[in-house]
Structure 1
Amino acid sequence: MMSPVLASEAFGASNVSEKVNFNSQMGTPQFISGQLTKASSKAPETVVFDYLTEKQKTFKFKGDSKLSFKVVEKQKDDLGFTYLRVQQVYKGTPVYGAVLTAHVNKEGVLTALSGAPAASLDEKQNLKQTKKLSKKEAVSTAEKDLVKAVGSQPDYEYAPKSESVIYVKDGEAHYAYLVNYNFLAPEPGNWNYFVDAVSGDILAKVNEIHEAGKGAGKPGGGGGAAGGTDTVGSGKGVLGDTKSLNTYLSSSTYYLQDRTRGNGIFTYDGSNRTRLPGSLWADSDNLFNASYDAAAVDAHYYAGTTYDYYKNTHNRNSYDGNGAALKSTVHYGRNYNNAFWNGQQMVYGDGDGSTFVSLSGGLDVIAHELTHAVTDTTADLIYQNESGAINESMSDIFGTLVEYDANNNPDWEIGEDIYTPNKSGDALRSMSDPAKYGDPDHYSVRYTGTQDNGGVHINSGIGNKAAYLLSQGGTHYGVKVTGIGTDKTGKIYYRTLTQYLTPSSNYSQLRSAAVQAATDLYGAGSAEVASVKAAYSAVGVN
């Protein structure tokens, strides 16, 4: 686990003040905030590069920062900040997970830098060696291990993809190939392998499939119906409630295709197979009341509810901010007890009727999966260890906030509507009391093993408890937190996720990021900032 050290210091003549959260494992700062530079009329990226060059000893690189960092995103927000995402590179090759976010205010002052770059790459002996492996050989090497891991040859959704990266492991940097395998059979997988480009060794592997619970591709065609008109139908959901549905009429057939939101919401029938996306859901009378329709009704309706939350509350047009189509497949597999985001679309099993009913019947589950998509296109949190736990926690947080926004029997439990239908009062996870289901509610009792991708679902309890305390208030481990409500909590976490978190973020960086987001929104001396600090102190994150 990372051991961050928080320090407040002014370590530059041009800087008024700096608060530095130092990552001792990486050997570089992971969050710096304050008035980091003087006011300037320079372009924001120039302000950032000048600062990095000035601080190259602190960040442990040599030479012009423009050779070590590349701007990959630049946007201006509604508070007047320009924020940039900056990828660390070494001789033109991206360093995996080493992304910084930088905020420059309207006066041209750099106010925050988030993310820990890899240190002293020019001194790493492995990077002085010449690549010996080809991409094709790397794909073959990783595939042999993958077949052993999953038990048989996967049926790929698309051909394995490979790219060159620098991968840092145990303080040493390696030229590596990042190879991605996306498949549904023999089990859903979205595996990333890191193969040493010199030795051919497998440096690391992680399954990036984002599931609703512990355990348990690219859509194969399946566009929308053409040449018709928008209509409104209705249907009964998994729990028997009737919902109004935006549909599409084409050639006397009604489809679960909603063209009123972004580039559309499309709901497909998986027909209990394991191919995606399946067939666009069709009906003859625009009344989706059959029992087989129920899973599709909820998937379609709740995707719209989640879209509306992000659009109306955060002005985000679909998960990517650019209106991306929302595709869902229901009736996936037979008695499949999970739901997942596969990097391209949402997928929902029917459950076995005992552990789960159709997983699309839970609004928080659908909002959870769609938030994974938001994360993939913003912070891109690596789905392993602490960054993976934060990834899961963000999905739980926004799954709950969408429930509150829609007034859909909101609570601080996850999956309660679709879990163990014959047993009342339980859920997959509890945000108010993570320990209720065996998850940690304090950093001191975090899981440090390797199961569950290093505890991504388990350790989400730490972030979940902090979010619950921030919203609702309470005393935990002797620390009193004053609640600020769901609306302000949502604004703080949305800004934290989309503007401050980076792929390798740990919980300490999350605390710094949330404090900075609250500072941007409400002011450094605000009650909201005080509550954020207290919430994270209450769960042992400093």
Structure 2
Amino acid sequence: MEKKQWVNLGIAFALTLFNFTSATAATTSSSEKISLNSETGAPVFIAGTLTVPSQADPYEIVLSYLREKENLYSIKLEGAQTLDIISETTDELGFTNIKLQHMYNGVPVFGSVLSAHINQSGVLTAISGELTQISKLDQDPAEENAFLQPSSAAAAVTNDLTAKLKKAPDIIQQESPSLVVFVGDGEARLAYSSEVEYLEPEPGNVRYFIDAANGAILASFNQIHQADPVGKDAVSAGTGLLGDKKSIYTVQNAEGSFLLDRTRGKGILTYDAANMLELPGKLWQDADGLFNEAYDAAAVDAHVYAGQTFDYFKKIHGRTSYDGKGARVISTVHYGEKYNNAFWSGSQMVYGDGDGTTFSPLSGSLDVVAHELTHAVTATTAKLIYQGQSGAINESISDVYGALVEGYFDDHPDWLIGEDIYTPKQKGDALRSLADPTTKGQPDHYSKLYLGTEDYGGVHINSGIGNKAAYLLANGGTHYSVAVKGIGLDKTGKILYRTLTQYLTPNTSYRQYQAAAVQAATDLYGASSEEVNSVKAAFSAVGLQ
């Protein structure tokens, strides 16, 4: 199961936020720049010519460098603590990207991931991510008899949810509990990690950490964010929620026309929940092949906008569907009655109809559809944890690509999110503004970072900081007396896409995000380029340098 995110709900979760500083270290190279977490002293991003050219295996190049930096990382990479390869890929620029999972006695440390880049000459150029510090772990994973069975951990999850929801949840998918090292309040514990997805009494997707010794709930946070018909491919006519005429890719046979687009990846499919709470519902079918009825409009928009988002990522970034492998894009409309939300469930998009006052049907906004499908891209790449600063960056990236996808198709993005579906009786209103986050109560500068516990530590609040930086990068402007030269939508999208897919790690902070964006721009355009200068200025304008 992948991470899921809500569009706009705020739910409380306690967390710790960090402040970050930047320092230059004279170690293996005078160009080495190290960004540090000022509280722990641990590096969150290192960039430069970090090693000499080498023909060695990329993993050995990275490991050799990290062993030289054991004092900096405060970790001894032998015995109990190791780094295992999660993935190794080569990108379009010829860089080898290795993602490494921090392990303790063979057990993964939750959220502790590094992303390293080696160029074509075998030179290590960047390491992104922060290793979680573990002073000691009293429990021994080898002593299996000392721990609960996974089934007991799963039962603890169900019992906790039942208590919180006041009734047993209608679970549609539950991840089998797996052992991790979980660090909370400075203490490392062996824990079972499990994710559970449910629809009633309200939709949710909760990540749980259960103490492996006694079954106590250590932490939890909500992340909620049938066979194909046989027939011929066709292009049908439809009408969207705003009355606009659209062409729709469908499959037609003697029974009618189905909202199944087989021209993109493994398919784009749109379903009807018929105001029920079961997913995915029934594949949308129309007898005459004309999708012009009022009830059709939400499905028309969901289907077309999913296709446009697919096209943007494919044409601009070379990414085929959200997973890069052509995954099916499934949408369900008319979910529930007067349901005021949309979310990525981990396997599909879900859209409510709204109550007509706070929201109209939520599939009627291209930026909302693109926002949610970008969460799916994030879930299959950086896997940003949905809390605190990493959660805010997660939300910001989705907002930014919501605006960029919209701009790709109409050339003039308004840099608003949800303006077509939010408060339909109030013209010009929107969920968020990237141009001026303060109009919706969001901070537009790191000095104004929200430090409370609401909304999982402000994932929908502090996203304003990243949103403003992206807006300035694309459009230019002066903010807090810092002048930024805009570089346009295309370059902004390419820099942030590389930042997301190559450099961000699960527990990314805003400081790491800034350093990663600078490095991504350097990779694409060169260290002395105007694009790099604009990235630096845009983040500086929001208090990050």
1:452–1:67 Cα change, 3 Å:
closer
Which residue number corresponds to residue 31 of structure 2? Answer: 17
Which residue number corresponds to residue 150 of structure 1? Answer: 165
- Give CA deviations for 1:47-87 in whole Å, capped at 9, x if unaligned: 11211222222222224499611111111111111111111
8 Å Cα contact 1:364-1:414 kept in structure 2: yes
Distance 1:85 1:306 in 2: 27
8 Å Cα contact 1:268-1:279 kept in structure 2: yes
- Give CA deviations for 1:466-500 in whole Å, capped at 9, x if unaligned: 10011111111111111111111001100011111
Aligned with 1:410: secondary structure?
Answer: coil
8 Å Cα contact 2:390-2:506 kept in structure 1: yes
Which residue number corresponds to residue 200 of structure 1? Answer: 215
Which residue number corresponds to residue 47 of structure 1? Answer: 61
8 Å Cα contact 2:272-2:332 kept in structure 1: yes
Aligned with 1:173: secondary structure?
Answer: strand
8 Å Cα contact 1:276-1:329 kept in structure 2: yes
- Give CA deviations for 1:499-532 in whole Å, capped at 9, x if unaligned: 1101000101100010100111111111111111
1:133-172 to structure 2, matched below 5 A, reads 133-172=148-187
Once the 2 structures are TM-superposed, how far is the Cα of residue 374 of structure 1 from its aligned partner?
0.0
Which residue number corresponds to residue 80 of structure 1? Answer: 94
Which residue number corresponds to residue 104 of structure 2? Answer: 90
Distance 1:387 1:223 in 2: 38
Letter in 1 for 2:25: E
Q: CA RMSD in A?
A: 1.6
Distance 1:197 1:2 in 2: 28
Letter in 1 for 2:71: K
Distance 2:393 2:227 in 1: 33
Question: Structure 1 length normalisation: TM-score?
Answer: 0.94
1:489-500 to structure 2, matched below 5 A, reads 489-500=492-503
Pick aligned residue for 1:7 from 2, 19, 23: 23
Which residue number corresponds to residue 102 of structure 1? Answer: 116
Aligned with 1:68: secondary structure?
Answer: strand
Distance 2:236 2:515 in 1: 47
- Give CA deviations for 1:72-115 in whole Å, capped at 9, x if unaligned: 11111111111111111111111111111100000000000000
Which residue number corresponds to residue 309 of structure 1? Answer: 312
The answer on 1:332 being equivalent to 2:335 is yes
1:286–1:530 Cα change, 3 Å:
same
8 Å Cα contact 1:161-1:181 kept in structure 2: no
The answer on 1:174 being equivalent to 2:177 is no
Aligned with 1:206: secondary structure?
Answer: strand
Once the 2 structures are TM-superposed, how far is the Cα of residue 442 of structure 1 from its aligned partner?
1.1
- The percent identity for this pair of structures is 55
Distance 2:33 2:209 in 1: 34
Distance 1:36 1:99 in 2: 19
1:160–1:66 Cα change, 3 Å:
closer
8 Å Cα contact 1:266-1:300 kept in structure 2: yes
Distance 1:425 1:65 in 2: 60
Distance 1:140 1:233 in 2: 48
Instruction: Name which of structure 1's ranges 33-42 and 3-12 shifts more when overlaid on structure 2.
Output: 3-12
Distance 1:34 1:223 in 2: 51
Distance 1:408 1:306 in 2: 15
The answer on 1:399 being equivalent to 2:402 is yes
Letter in 2 for 1:95: V
Letter in 1 for 2:364: G
1:409–1:415 Cα change, 3 Å:
farther
1:211-230 to structure 2, matched below 5 A, reads 222-225=226-229, 227-230=230-233
Distance 1:268 1:178 in 2: 32
8 Å Cα contact 2:269-2:329 kept in structure 1: yes
Letter in 1 for 2:470: A
Aligned with 2:490: secondary structure?
Answer: helix
The answer on 1:373 being equivalent to 2:387 is no
Which residue number corresponds to residue 216 of structure 1? Answer: none
8 Å Cα contact 1:299-1:366 kept in structure 2: yes
Which residue number corresponds to residue 278 of structure 2? Answer: 275
Which residue number corresponds to residue 487 of structure 1? Answer: 490
1:63–1:476 Cα change, 3 Å:
closer
Which residue number corresponds to residue 258 of structure 1? Answer: 261
Letter in 1 for 2:415: W
Which residue number corresponds to residue 517 of structure 1? Answer: 520
Distance 1:32 1:45 in 2: 17
Once the 2 structures are TM-superposed, how far is the Cα of residue 535 of structure 1 from its aligned partner?
1.0
Distance 2:327 2:502 in 1: 20
1:502–1:112 Cα change, 3 Å:
same
Structure 2 portions without partners, runs of 5+: 1-16
8 Å Cα contact 1:127-1:174 kept in structure 2: no
Aligned with 1:157: secondary structure?
Answer: strand
Structure with the larger RCO, 1 or 2 (CA within 8 Å, 6+ apart): 2
Question: Structure 2 length normalisation: TM-score?
Answer: 0.94
Distance 2:211 2:26 in 1: 40
- Give CA deviations for 1:350-382 in whole Å, capped at 9, x if unaligned: 011111111000000000000000000000000
Distance 1:508 1:409 in 2: 30
The answer on 1:446 being equivalent to 2:449 is yes
Aligned with 1:37: secondary structure?
Answer: coil
Distance 1:16 1:518 in 2: 20
- Give CA deviations for 1:199-237 in whole Å, capped at 9, x if unaligned: 332211100101xxxxxxxxxxx3421x31111101000
Structure 1 portions without partners, runs of 5+: 211-221
- Give CA deviations for 1:146-180 in whole Å, capped at 9, x if unaligned: 22222321100124531111111122211000121
1:128–1:140 Cα change, 3 Å:
closer
1:310–1:63 Cα change, 3 Å:
closer
Which residue number corresponds to residue 131 of structure 2? Answer: 117
Which residue number corresponds to residue 36 of structure 1? Answer: 50
Distance 2:130 2:447 in 1: 23
Once the 2 structures are TM-superposed, how far is the Cα of residue 280 of structure 1 from its aligned partner?
0.3
8 Å Cα contact 2:80-2:105 kept in structure 1: no
Instruction: Name which of structure 1's ranges 155-164 and 372-381 shifts more when overlaid on structure 2.
Output: 155-164
Distance 1:480 1:113 in 2: 29
8 Å Cα contact 1:252-1:284 kept in structure 2: yes
Which residue number corresponds to residue 509 of structure 2? Answer: 506
Letter in 1 for 2:113: V
Pick aligned residue for 2:433 from 430, 435, 457: 430
The answer on 1:356 being equivalent to 2:359 is yes
